[in-house]
Structure 1
């Protein structure tokens, strides 16, 4: 599940994931929409922007980690800021990995492989 309020960023990440071999890629423009979707149809990976209206990435991560069913879902946070405080809060909440925008698809692949192992 790709969660970002920017349509172009969601499209870029979807293309990269398809190139990495992922088949079932869904995306949502907001964390509340994504929560509703993943509660009804589980996912193995969430790639979420930090800076979003309604619910930011940290709130989204905290909500996922508190949910008994979703808590173990791999969560990679994206942000346009390398603000240490945000990184530390995400780490404290249990983020699996973190990526600063802009990034190359190879960097995203590396972050995913650190969690799942080599992608074929």
Structure 2
């Protein structure tokens, strides 16, 4: 079974359009097991009931932003090592530095293409077949 078929991806974004675009890009790459959450709190609830293998989160969200979600994920024993990528419209150096301290695996600037997303994912998990 290919990595694409095995990986369960969690997409976290407060904007419906962004969630749909990201899901479409992941499906274009070949992923089929994709869950979505509208914010960090919802994502944490989903992770505790049905953990995913990879989290892709928007940076700017109400309630719990991408870095707060990353911190919450990293402090949870069961899924602390889950690969985590942040999407941002503004790759602020301080945000990325803080993310790296928290264990951020990668980031991707918006807007992006499916090929950009694939390269960012492959930088973390290796070649996707």
State how far apart, in whole Å, the 1-side matches of 2:28 and 2:128 are.
11
- C-alpha distance in 2 between matches for 1:63 and 1:90: 12
Residues paired across the two proteins, number: 120
TM-score (norm 2): 0.90
RMSD: 0.8
Correspondences of 1:1-120 after superposition (within 5 Å):
1-120=10-129
Where in structure 1 do 4 or more consecutive aligned residues deviate above 3 Å? none
Gaps of 5+ in 1: none
Deviation at 1:118, TM superposition (A): 1.1
How far 1:115 moved relative to its partner?
A: 1.0
Task: Give CA-to-partner distance per residue, 1:45-70, whole Å, 9 cap, x none.
Answer: 10000100001100000000010011
* In structure 2, C-alpha distance between the alignment counterparts of 1:82 and 1:55, rounded to whole Å: 18
Structure 2: state its 5+ residue gaps: 1-9
Aligned-partner Cα distance in 2 for 1:105–1:89: 26
Shift of 1:104: 1.5
TM score, norm. by length of structure 1: 0.97
Give yes or no for contact 2:28–2:114 (8 Å, CA) kept in 1: no
CA distances 1:14-65 after superposition (whole Å, capped 9, x unpaired): 1111121212101011110010011110100100001000011000000000
